[in-house]
Structure 1
């Protein structure tokens, strides 16, 4: 790869890493990327409703397929070395740097611009499982035929130097639950239903859910708060959080039905109200053989067949898959990049082999050009 392009990729990563922004607040990130896209001849689009930016590069007259690359742009809010901050511990900074790197490589190739139609989608709020749906609502993928994403993978899934042409994320649903009753004096327990008892019954019932073990799934309570500083008050209210996971969308639906049945049963048993508040949900991956084949060829071209893995299944989630849920004819897949990532995704001290961003850039570029059957030309010009 050209040394100047490599330098730009690393500089972009360093800037984005040092200037992370949390979900729905990525306005400086949006501006930074927008300026880069425009400096390389992209037609850009930003949105009044939310942060995020889309760049169009190439020939959009309808004579060639439209290929999109998606990078998530939000960071997590975490305590790092004792200081709360926006922290890119999920690798989104590297995803942005790699997708921008594809633009740099395409721009360096002679006579490519008229042969391709590439959309660069920089999407907000992946960590809130809501950004992809917002991009769909805004019409970003209406003209797109192929969609490629990328995500760093922990070593337990993809070893350093290897890559997989598809990440088989599972479905995720995060729920906020409120038990809504009245407080009572500690000497008069007959006047209320103790929210601690109600919540404990809910936890026990959740833990007793049994479904077919052949498809990975789990449901667990991740927060339980009831009562205040006065120990002589029986709390009527409590708040809980639930985390539901399933490897398929169908099993997730079954899991949701069982949880809903538990809510209704406990409401009837105690005569209290259980309210479901905020919900964040991520769909399981919908695979596309054609997109996977293109990405597999791209990996083999850059890393070699020995370093090309089969599609990888993971219990994690990503809102990338809402694009294919909302547009089933879309040919989409997500590159999984092995990069010696440790201790793990979302760990505040996460590190990875930054040299792998160069591999990821080349693989994504090969995937784009593979759609147009011009991958061989890229090898001649960049190796």
Structure 2
């Protein structure tokens, strides 16, 4: 398949995916569309009984090398109306995955092993990777690659990075239960707002190494009713924690738990909370990164191979290596002029980079198969 033929094949695929966005765990039509396309090419994709998403294997034997793409869109206000919207580039990621599939199909007779292409739901909720791990989808893999379009502040259009070092994130939600009282008799109550203020003050005093990037803060607080002369006895809150690596995130988590316990004891209030989402920080494997770097050089030239990118954002992809430490992973950073920025309702990017991204990914998968063959 020539470069022009690949570009022409991928254009209507991207347009369909872009124009039919679906939010996390609702990627029903997207799953059906991709499965149908794969069947038309003579392959039998594997879907799931109780969730969206799918995967397909190409080549002979048990797959040892894989590529994962995300599928879901964001729910956000666009031109005054809330709707599903592909403002994080997942439409482009799926297009590259399908381009990779088409290229691998041509190479199938000569592949030294099998490749698994995974279409993962619910990346934006940081739940899809965990669900696929439970399904055993990555159990046989040694290498797993991913990709993400990058904003101009990180990568120039037409350049490509062999690794993305995303940070870790945890989202907590919780409730504070104190005692309601009359505003004239505060000593008879336990003010949930004052408890929340103490919680905020406590987490601000957590000590993290100055060499590490980290933050934890309260992002939502609801307390009290319509009467201003009642001391509120209950409140609900949300916390957002960020760290550049998993060890620092663990330190933040332990610190928050200690602060919550201390404030609860001090005020005689109950503080209950749960982790709604946990996004692991990148654990990039050096061999996987070198394979991706060589793939970039082979396809786009050494002059377009950019350094690895360190970014404060989170990405559910890294949960695979977090849960399966033996898995060797990295993500291709696709410099495609994302503007104004990721998650902006009017986000756009240079779609002409998608076929090149598919070629780089395909080359990386072939190189990884060769690496596996040499090590066996």
TM surpasses 0.5: yes
CA drift of 1:268 comes to 0.8
Q: Distance in 2 between matches of 1:196 and 1:372?
A: 57
Note if contact 2:6-2:355 (Cα within 8 Å) is conserved in structure 1.
Answer: no
1:110 Cα shift? 7.4
Are residue 271 (structure 1) and residue 272 (structure 2) matched? no
Instruction: Give 1:336 shift.
Output: 0.7
Structure 1 residues 201-216: aligned runs within 5 Å:
201-216=198-213
Shift of 1:109: 4.3
State the match for 2:293 in structure 1.
Answer: 296
Distance 1:110 1:47, change over 3 A: closer
CA RMSD of aligned residues (A): 1.7
Which residue of 105, 108, 111 corresponds with 2:109? 111
Taking the TM superposition and a 5 Å limit, the aligned residue runs for 1:174-253 are 174-253=171-250
After superposition, the C-alpha distances for 1:118-143 in whole angstroms (9 at most, x for unaligned) are: 11100011111111111010010111
Question: 2:5 maps to what in 1?
Answer: 4
What's the CA shift for 1:312?
Answer: 1.6
Whole-Å Cα distance in 1 between the matches of residues 68 and 155 of structure 2? 21
* Structure 2: gaps (5+ residues): 372-376
* Aligned 8 A contact 1:178 1:277 in 2: no
Separation (CA, whole Å) in 1 of partners of 2:15 and 2:205 = 47
In structure 1, the gaps of 5 or more residues are 375-383
In 1, the alpha carbon distance for the partners of 2:331 and 2:250 equals 24
Is the Cα contact below 8 Å between 2:180 and 2:230 reproduced in 1? Answer: yes
Q: TM-score, normalised by structure 1?
A: 0.92
TM-superposed deviation, 1:16 = 1.2
- Deviation of 1:253 after TM superposition, in Å, equals 0.9
Give the superposition deviation at 1:30. Answer: 0.8
Q: Does 1:165 align with 2:162?
A: yes
Q: How many residues align?
A: 370
Q: Is the 8 A contact 2:130 2:319 kept in 1?
A: yes
Q: Cα offset for 1:102?
A: 0.6
Question: Partners in 2 of 1:145 and 1:269 — Cα distance?
Answer: 50
TM normalised by structure 2 equals 0.94
Query: Which segment drifts farther, 206-215 or 128-137?
Result: 206-215
Question: For the residues of structure 1 that align with 2:271 and 2:127, how far apart are their CA atoms?
Answer: 25
Taking the aligned partners of 1:125 and 1:300, their CA distance within structure 2 comes to 32
Tell me, in whole angstroms, the C-alpha distance in 2 between the residues paired with 1:221 and 1:348. Answer: 25
